[in-house]
A and B are shown apart, each in its own frame.
Chain A
Amino acid sequence: MAEKPRIKLPSQARKGEIIEIKTLVSHAMENGLRRDQNGVTIPRKIINRFVCEFNGQLVFRCDLDTAVAANPYLQFFAKVEGDGTFRFSWTDDDGSTLTAEERIIVTA
Chain B
Amino acid sequence: MRMISRRDAMALGAFVAVAGHTGVIASPVEAESEIAKFSAGATPRTGNITIDLPEIAENGNSVPLAIAIDSPMTERDHVSEVLVVAERNPRPVIAKFQFTLMAGRAQASTRIRLASSQSIIVLAKTNSGALLMGQKPVKVTIGGCGG
List chain A positions with a Cβ less than 8 A from chain B.
18, 31, 33-35, 54, 57-70, 72-79
Residue pair B146, A58 in contact (C-beta under 8 Å):
no
Residue of B nearest to A81 (CB): B102
Is B98 in the interface zone, CB < 8 Å from A?
A: yes
30 residue pairs of the A-B complex, CB under 8 angstroms, read A31-B91, A31-B113, A33-B24, A33-B145, A54-B102, A57-B100, A59-B100, A60-B98, A60-B99, A60-B103, A61-B97, A62-B95, A63-B96, A65-B94, A66-B90, A67-B86, A67-B89, A67-B91, A68-B111, A68-B112, A69-B62, A69-B63, A69-B111, A69-B113, A70-B61, A77-B103, A78-B104, A79-B73, A79-B102, A79-B104
Q: Which 8 A-B pairs have the closest CB atoms?
A: A79-B104, A34-B146, A18-B104, A61-B98, A69-B111, A69-B62, A63-B96, A77-B105
Task: Please name all residues of chain A whose beta carbon is closer than 8 Å to the beta carbon of B94 when the two chains form the complex.
Answer: 65, 67-68
Q: Is the interface of B mostly helix, strand, loop or mixed?
A: mixed
List chain B positions with a Cβ less than 8 A from chain A.
24, 61-63, 66, 73, 86, 89-91, 93-105, 107-114, 144-147
Residue pair A31, B111 in contact (C-beta under 8 Å):
no
Most buried by A among B97, B109, B144: B97
Closest Cβ of chain A to B11, distance in Å, is 30
